[in-house]
């Protein structure tokens, strides 16, 4: 609901209030974001209370005042929400409020970029118009609030209302100033095979964090951050989340000003960004999802999970159980024949696997990673029956068939590159940098996007392909101009729109050298994303634990792979590998034809278990219990919305001697209800599980895991 009261706008979500006020000088001031407030006239701080630094003519100094979309260089010298250069070549700007518009039942769908949709939820959008007459720019700030959620969606549109060009050098999607307090920042840096590590640090005066990425793909930093009250933990305390629906270069800026206020901004990375707007032209930022929870990090995660599952993912697969897959990559790498693939599929069918995925190496002359990206034509030597014939054979074995593509790429050794060398991103006078022997196609060009769309669609039309793994395996170099990465990202979305729109029944999985493009933009098109090339169960504890802070378990692709693990050499039990992968979209990636009878029996049981669990894992409320970042354990739990079905997981990383186990207390249950441990038949009280806890019986070895399926006892 949006309540407008003179110059105050009060946005109320399910449990939140977001209050904006326009002060007497026409500045748009941020009043409050937090737990729901009753409606009243709130005005916020008019001007800097200290009065010592009134360095502008009318005496209103905003430096230190909480604002909604701050300008730079006039009466606020903190990091600005945007930067425009006018025809005189300076970047001093000052936006003033002009008016507002409230749109009922409306969620903005940002042109060319994915956005949250309303679905069956009730949404209202407030648009505030701000103008800088000297520069000649109008900015429309958009705020969407839902009756059912605790999120505010934000974006900003810039319109050049002058007669000359205006240069936009930065444009955050959202900016917010949280008034003085003691806060922590949580963000998710990483690298290939150790994506999205959890980092928490204090925010103190004078600090300015630019949590940004300018590499095209985001292994090293994720576009999701949280700012929490100092004492907030998984279950308690104020937590603010900022998640960008964007797959290009991004920035989350956190600054603590000289008075202790915290400024948080999120949007396109200003580094190497520029947009020249001709007279009358406009530019809209991607959408930022701002979320608040008073129930700690866990509360915030569950809220984002609901929003993303229900109102971001467009695929019908968002609401369907995903097939249990087997992928041949780690089983064969490039070295396979049709018969080898069929033998894997046959064995996979026997244990209950439902989908066979053919990974890299099926096209052109791709027997290694040196060549053929771009040539999306089957290699008849490896696959004499073609993709169509192979898909038919796999279907005859009783499995669905899926296929890997890396459509944004080209190898110099490819027919595509020989025909169109100018289609690869490059700058005049320089040889473009290779990475994994490949170059990136220039998706800012329509004809290149059309090639990609046609190449992929032709293959998808040619055979019964029910799943696609969409990979992107290198960072972006040689960008021809400032702002290029945004144009590339728009090209990527155009392709995604076209292909996922043309094949609505196909299940798409995102991938980027493992989890290098795990973001809400990708999630809009592809309901599951390969989380990391590191599938070692112990490494996955951390990766899946922290990924779940910003993204639903239904998006976190998790495979059981062979031991010693191909990435880090660790040997873990098949049990631990399976147990850990249940908290994700479950699958296998190993040579199942080489497994022993005993192992195959265990896999059969895992598959039965996953079939029993997968609806719950896709739709339930996820609780993190013990952090592998802080303890020798990892524990999490999924509870169905009606609190009837529960999956509990715990792992003990290293074995210990002569110690007692800590009891682990479950969360989110009905205390008065009884819950039965399905396997053991033992009945627990909900209160007992949550307040007294359980003592998992870990095997006495390193890397031990324990699971329990509980059901509410209705009798």
Residues that bind ligand GLA (CB under 6 A): 329, 359-360, 404, 471, 473, 511, 513-514, 530, 533
Residue with smaller CB distance to ligand GLA, 511 or 669: 511
What is the distance between the alpha carbons of residues 564 and 558, in angstroms, rounded to a whole number? 17
Based on CB atoms, which residue is closest to ligand GLA, 128 or 409? 409
Give the residue with the Cβ less far from ligand GLA, 146 or 404. Answer: 404
Buried residues in 149-183 as b, exposed as e (16+ CB within 10 A): bbbbbbbbbbbbbbeeebbbbbbbbbbbbbbeeeb
Give which of 610, 614, 407 is closest to 511, Cα–Cα: 407
CB of 390 to ligand GLA, least distance (A): 17
471 flagged as catalytic: yes
Instruction: Tell me the closest approach of the beta carbon of residue 456 to ligand GLA, in angstroms.
Output: 16
Nearer to ligand GLA, 229 or 359 (CB): 359
Q: How far is the CB of 472 from ligand GLA (least distance, A)?
A: 9
CA 130 to centroid of chain Cα atoms: 31
Inter-CA distances, 392 with 118, 343, 473, Å: 39, 14, 29
Residue matched to tokens 């369907």:
320
Nearest to 592, CA basis, from 244, 352, 286: 352
The closest alpha carbon to 657, from 700, 706, 704, belongs to 700
CB of 460 to ligand GLA, least distance (A): 18
Q: Which residue is nearest to ligand GLA (CB)?
A: 360
Q: Minimum Å distance from CB 457 to ligand GLA?
A: 21
Nearest to 304 by CA among 491, 466, 520: 520
CB of 436 to ligand GLA, least distance (A): 8
CA distances from 711 to 585, 605, 650 (A): 22, 19, 18
Tell me if 690 sits within 8 A of 669, measured CB to CB: yes
Q: Which of 27, 257, 360, 533 is catalytic?
A: 533
Q: Which is nearer to ligand GLA, 114 or 514 (CB)?
A: 514
Beta pairing partners, 494:
none
Taking the complex as a whole, the smallest distance from the CB of residue 527 to ligand GLA amounts, in Å, to: 18
Q: Which is nearer to ligand GLA, 373 or 524 (CB)?
A: 373
| Phi, psi torsion values for 444, nearest 5 degrees | -80, -10
Q: Which is nearer to ligand GLA, 190 or 514 (CB)?
A: 514
Query: Pick the catalytic residue: 76, 132, 471, 579?
Result: 471
Q: How far is the CB of 404 from ligand GLA (least distance, A)?
A: 6
Nearer to ligand GLA by Cβ, of 14 and 436: the residue is 436
Residue 594, CA atoms < 13 Å, CB-side half-sphere: 12
Query: How many other C-beta atoms are found inside a 10 Å radius of the C-beta of residue 608?
Result: 12
| Residue 579 annotated in active site | no
Exposed, middle or buried: residue 657 (CB in 10 Å: 0-12, 13-18, 19+)?
exposed
Please report where in the chains the tokens 């910003």 appear, as a residue.
550
Whether residue 552 contacts residue 531, with contact meaning beta carbons closer than 8 Å, is answered with no
What's the per-residue H, E or C state across 213-256? Answer: CCCCCCCCECCEEEEEECCCCCCCECEEEEEEECCCCEEEEEEE
* Residue with token string 């806890």: 693
Q: Annotated catalytic sites, by residue? A: 471, 533
């Amino acid at each position: 609901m949006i309540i407008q009261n003179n110059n105050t706008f009060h946005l109320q979500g399910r449990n939140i209030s977001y209050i904006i006020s326009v002060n007497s000088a026409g500045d748009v001031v941020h009043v409050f974001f937090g737990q729901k407030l009753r409606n009243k006239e709130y005005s916020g701080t008019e001007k800097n209370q200290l009065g010592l630094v009134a360095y502008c003519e009318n005496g209103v100094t905003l430096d230190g005042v909480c604002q909604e979309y701050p300008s730079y260089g006039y009466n606020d010298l903190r990091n600005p929400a945007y930067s425009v250069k006018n025809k005189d070549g300076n970047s001093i700007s000052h936006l003033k409020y002009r008016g507002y518009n409230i749109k009922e039942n409306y969620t903005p769908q940002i042109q060319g970029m994915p956005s949250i949709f309303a679905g069956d939820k009730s949404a209202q959008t407030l648009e505030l118009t701000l103008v800088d007459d000297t520069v000649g720019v109008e900015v429309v700030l958009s705020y969407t609030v839902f009756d059912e959620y605790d999120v505010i969606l934000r974006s900003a549109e810039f319109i050049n209302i002058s007669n000359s060009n205006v240069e936009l050098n930065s444009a955050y999607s959202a900016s917010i100033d949280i008034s003085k307090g003691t806060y922590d920042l949580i963000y998710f840096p990483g690298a290939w095979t150790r994506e999205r590590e959890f980092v928490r640090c204090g925010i103190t005066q004078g600090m300015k964090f630019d949590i940004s990425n300018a590499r095209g793909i985001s292994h090293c930093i994720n576009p999701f951050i949280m700012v929490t009250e100092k004492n907030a933990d998984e279950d308690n305390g104020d937590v603010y989340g900022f998640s960008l629906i964007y797959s290009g270069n991004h920035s989350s800026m956190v600054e603590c000003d000289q008075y202790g206020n915290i400024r948080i901004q999120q949007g396109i990375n200003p580094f190497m960004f520029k947009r020249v707007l001709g007279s009358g032209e406009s530019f809209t930022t991607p959408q930022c999802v701002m979320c608040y929870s008073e129930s700690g990090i866990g509360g915030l995660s569950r809220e984002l999970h609901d929003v993303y599952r229900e109102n971001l993912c467009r695929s019908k697969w968002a609401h369907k159980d995903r097939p249990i897959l087997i992928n041949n990559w780690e089983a064969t790498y490039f070295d396979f024949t049709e018969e080898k693939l069929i033998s894997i599929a046959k064995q996979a069918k026997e244990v209950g696997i439902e989908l066979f995925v053919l990974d890299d190496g099926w096209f052109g002359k791709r027997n290694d990673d040196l060549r053929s990206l771009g040539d999306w034509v089957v290699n008849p030597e490896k696959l004499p029956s073609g993709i169509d014939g192979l898909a038919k054979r796999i279907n005859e074995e009783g499995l669905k068939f899926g296929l890997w593509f890396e459509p944004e790429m080209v190898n110099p050794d490819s027919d595509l590159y020989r025909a169109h060398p100018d289609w690869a991103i490059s700058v005049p006078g320089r040889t473009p940098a290779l990475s994994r022997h490949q170059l990136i196609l220039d998706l800012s060009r329509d004809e290149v996007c059309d090639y990609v769309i046609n190449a992929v669609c032709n293959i998808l039309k040619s055979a019964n392909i029910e799943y696609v793994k969409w990979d992107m395996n290198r960072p972006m170099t040689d960008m021809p101009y400032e702002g290029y990465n945004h144009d590339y990202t728009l090209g990527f979305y155009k392709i995604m729109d076209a292909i996922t729109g043309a094949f609505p029944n196909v299940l798409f999985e995102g991938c980027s050298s493992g989890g290098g493009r795990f973001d809400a933009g990708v999630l809009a098109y592809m309901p599951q994303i390969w989380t990391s090339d590191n599938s070692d169960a112990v490494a996955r504890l951390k990766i899946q634990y922290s990924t779940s802070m910003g993204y639903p378990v239904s998006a976190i692709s998790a495979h059981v792979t062979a031991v010693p693990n191909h990435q880090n050499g660790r040997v873990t039990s098949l049990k631990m590998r399976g147990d850990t992968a249940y908290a994700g979209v479950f699958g296998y990636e190993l040579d199942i034809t080489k497994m022993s009878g005993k192992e195959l029996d265990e896999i059969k049981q895992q598959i039965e278990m996953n079939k029993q669990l997968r609806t719950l894992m896709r739709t339930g409320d996820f609780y993190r219990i013990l952090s592998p970042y802080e303890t020798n354990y990892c524990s999490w739990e999924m509870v169905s919305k009606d609190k009837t079905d529960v999956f509990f997981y715990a792992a003990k990383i290293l074995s210990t001697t002569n110690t007692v186990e800590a009891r682990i207390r479950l969360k989110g249950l009905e205390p008065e209800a009884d819950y039965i441990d399905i396997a053991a038949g033992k009945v627990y009280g909900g209160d007992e599980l949550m307040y007294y806890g359980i003592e998992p019986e870990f095997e006495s070895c390193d890397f031990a895991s324990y699971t329990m399926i509980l059901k509410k006892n209705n009798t």
